Structure 1
Amino acid sequence: MDFDLTAEQQLLRDGLTHFLAARYDLESSRKAVKTGAGWQPEIWRAFADELGILGATLPESVGGMGGGPAETMVIAEALGHALVVEPYVNTVVVAGGLLARIDSPAARGVAEKIAEGDAIVAFAAAEDSSDDLGTVTTTARRDGDAWVLDGFKALVVDAPLATHLLVTAQTDDGVGLFVAGYDADAAGVTAHAIRTVDDRQAADLELSGWRIPADALLATGDDALAVLHRAVDAGVAAICAEAVGAMRKVLDDTVEYSKQRQQFGVPLSSFQVLSHRMVDMLIEVEQASAAALLATIKLDAAPDERARAVSAAKVTIGRAARFVGQNAVQLHGGMGMTEELAIGHYFKRLSALQYEYGTTDRHLARYAALTTP
């Protein structure tokens, strides 16, 4: 099988990489997340208008360019390498990919806004630490020409930035999937803002009589769960690619630092034990890259085959991110965790990635369940 990028995919990667190198510096990004709006809206607008990456992987029917999982992998890896905090995976990969697969005016309308750069969608599914999409206590009841939602959604990443919410709630026909415009000040919604350890914006959401339009319901029961699992698996594959990009940057910076930093009058890179440690880091990165590629390739396979590949990648990425991140910090010494040095920020992101869309342990359990006769 040919794993090489096509000419178009190489152009996509090179164009995005050059853009990020020229216009996405770490200092501005950290300033935005710590003291500003939490992101850079002008960068998001450029993603849509100048690069077209917000619609690159969405179908032409919603204004996209018809790309697929391979294009998503290329984009996510480049974003991870630059430590981009803008909500690409949650909005474009998970929400956009899900909405583009549902035949309804509401879904199509929001998907078109995503491709145009006019919508940020937060995925409000988790209610506790179980990550079980089928276990939902939030309820939705019909009231005239509206749905009324009551319940709680935990750690909804990107909620403070969101224009729309993708919400799961229990209906009379099983788990329901809803999409609706979101305003943190709307009646029936109480948002408790959180900044995560890796400088992402999030919130716990209390829903108490939140009224949304009747056409906000996209699917129920098995149909809703099937499209949800497909979308979340796509999100996992994307963050695996993002982690690979971040780990490559961390490894490159560590190798470069070891050549410059001297101890006992010689560079750190001249010590054999440290060289061996960096080779071990490289092996972990390459294994992670192969696992992320396999997960990407298998996204259009049968559900069980897709789930096995995705969970295997998440477990591999979790192990690699921990090993590479911790060793990079150790090899940098005390400087590794300072705000001034990039390595500390990448370490925090790699640590958080191990828990997004299911922990390493949860995916290991899913893989075991899917491979047990």
Structure 2
Amino acid sequence: MSFTPLFPGMLLDAADRFAQDHAATQDFAETDPIREMGWACTVVPEESGGVGGTLADLASIVEGLATHGLHLPVVETCAVAPILLQGAAPEASARWLEAVCEGSAKIAPLTALSASLDDIAVQAKQLDIGCELTGVVQGVDVSLAATHYLVPAVLQGTGEAAIFLVDKERIPAPTTTYRTMEGRRGADFRLEHLTEPALACIARGAEAQRALVQADNAALLLTATDTVAALATLIQQTVNHLKERRQFGVTLSSFQVLRHRTADMYVRYLGAKGLLMHAFQEYDSDAADLRRTLRLMKVALAETARTCAESAIQMHGGMGVSEEVLATRLAQRLLASEFRYGDRLTHAARLLAPQPTFPGVHYERQP
């Protein structure tokens, strides 16, 4: 079986070494490795102090971390937040992106990990002095500290989308915090009549809607990269386990049924890898049907990931339920990935009956 890197290069090597060195670290609450490594600036334009890299560059980092089962909110911090900021007016966008790259601002999205970014949970009531935000946002990643949150909202009366940049000190404390299946630090927030000045609204209308769709496209692609990279390592770990473990005096790898099952996992992996590469090509070429391609990929990868995760756990036997085993953590990661940025049932329903969340919004990547 051959497992060549999805996105080879220096970024992959750096992320792989970092993940290998910190494989036992479960909490980065006291540090900020994403910014220390400079990853937060990957897709930020050079004129705003960033690297000016592509989404494929960011995918290299995601692949390196996923290979060792290490969780960091790279998708949220390095893709979703910068893309949403780029939806603001040029001056405001440049100022905040520069602050992110300098480290004076740590900006994260206040959005549910389990929902598409255009499934907005917050309502904004327009006031004479600004807007009043109300809503419940569940499943926000709070693995790393933030100084500001980006809060998508729907403007009451007009139905337009808007994006607010809110100081963390203004955000109420989470109603509850917890660990997710794959080890993230999650939290639920309740915003009740949170009043923000007009300047806090950095984008609204078509600009906000476009930024949300672009950020969601990037999140789906990077989550798929995480899935395929984790799947490759899971299969490798399973093959190694079958070669080492013995039963009835022979290695498990000598049992034909287990060999066939492993081969099935590998074939599914090759299909998943092909889907991912095709989706990136569609993204790079601004394909008109990009949104449909991403939804189809999400549905297909979710089924593949679940099937392979269950097979790996079963073939590991009792060890398959121990979180000390990398394969177990990777299986948990694959199962959880199905529910990131909309589960497969949600995307399948939208494929069957596509209806824009907002009138006049085109759900493809805009140039």
TM-score (norm 2): 0.85
Could you say what secondary structure the match of 1:356 adopts?
A: coil
Specify the alignment match of 2:51 in structure 1: 65
Specify the alignment match of 2:335 in structure 1: 351
Distance in 2 (CA, whole Å) between partners of 1:82 and 1:347 is 12
| Matching of residues 334-373 of structure 1 within 5 Å | 334-369=318-353
Query: Could you tell me how far 1:16 is from its partner in structure 2?
Result: 2.5
| Matching of residues 110-125 of structure 1 within 5 Å | 110-117=96-103, 119-125=105-111
Distance in 1 (CA, whole Å) between partners of 2:237 and 2:5 is 25
Distance change >3 Å, CA 337–CA 182, structure 1 → 2 = same
Query: Could you tell me how far 1:354 is from its partner in structure 2?
Result: 0.2
Distance in 2 (CA, whole Å) between partners of 1:117 and 1:195 is 27
Distance in 1 (CA, whole Å) between partners of 2:85 and 2:176 is 27
Distance change >3 Å, CA 135–CA 307, structure 1 → 2 = same
Specify the alignment match of 1:46 in structure 2: 36
Could you say what secondary structure the match of 1:67 adopts?
A: coil
Q: In the alignment, does 2:200 pair up with 1:216?
A: yes
| Matching of residues 155-304 of structure 1 within 5 Å | 155-158=139-142, 161-171=145-155, 172-173=157-158, 174-183=160-169, 186=170, 190-302=174-286, 304=288
| RMSD of equivalent CA atoms | 2.8
8 A Cα contact 2:124 2:154, kept in partner: yes
Distance in 1 (CA, whole Å) between partners of 2:177 and 2:230 is 26
Specify the alignment match of 1:78 in structure 2: 64
Q: In the alignment, does 2:101 pair up with 1:102?
A: no
Distance change >3 Å, CA 116–CA 345, structure 1 → 2 = farther
Letter paired with 2:68 = A
Q: Deviations over 1:115-161 (max 9, x none)?
A: 3455444333459x7747265552242342x4332222222222773
Could you say what secondary structure the match of 1:358 adopts?
A: coil
Could you say what secondary structure the match of 2:177 adopts?
A: strand
Query: Could you tell me how far 1:219 is from its partner in structure 2?
Result: 2.0
User: Tell me, which stretches of 5 or more residues in structure 2 are unaligned?
Assistant: 355-367
8 A Cα contact 1:329 1:347, kept in partner: yes
Query: Could you tell me how far 1:187 is from its partner in structure 2?
Result: 6.6
Query: Could you tell me how far 1:263 is from its partner in structure 2?
Result: 0.7
Letter paired with 1:41 = T
User: Tell me, which stretches of 5 or more residues in structure 1 are unaligned?
Assistant: 33-37
Distance in 2 (CA, whole Å) between partners of 1:307 and 1:355 is 18
TM-score (norm 1): 0.84
Q: Deviations over 1:280-322 (max 9, x none)?
A: 1111112111112222222255575110121122112111210
Distance change >3 Å, CA 255–CA 89, structure 1 → 2 = same
Query: Could you tell me how far 1:84 is from its partner in structure 2?
Result: 2.4
Q: How many residue pairs are counted as aligned between the two chains?
A: 349
8 A Cα contact 1:126 1:133, kept in partner: no
8 A Cα contact 1:54 1:114, kept in partner: yes
Q: Deviations over 1:104-124 (max 9, x none)?
A: 444333323433455444333
Specify the alignment match of 2:360 in structure 1: none
Distance in 1 (CA, whole Å) between partners of 2:235 and 2:74 is 24
Specify the alignment match of 1:89 in structure 2: 75
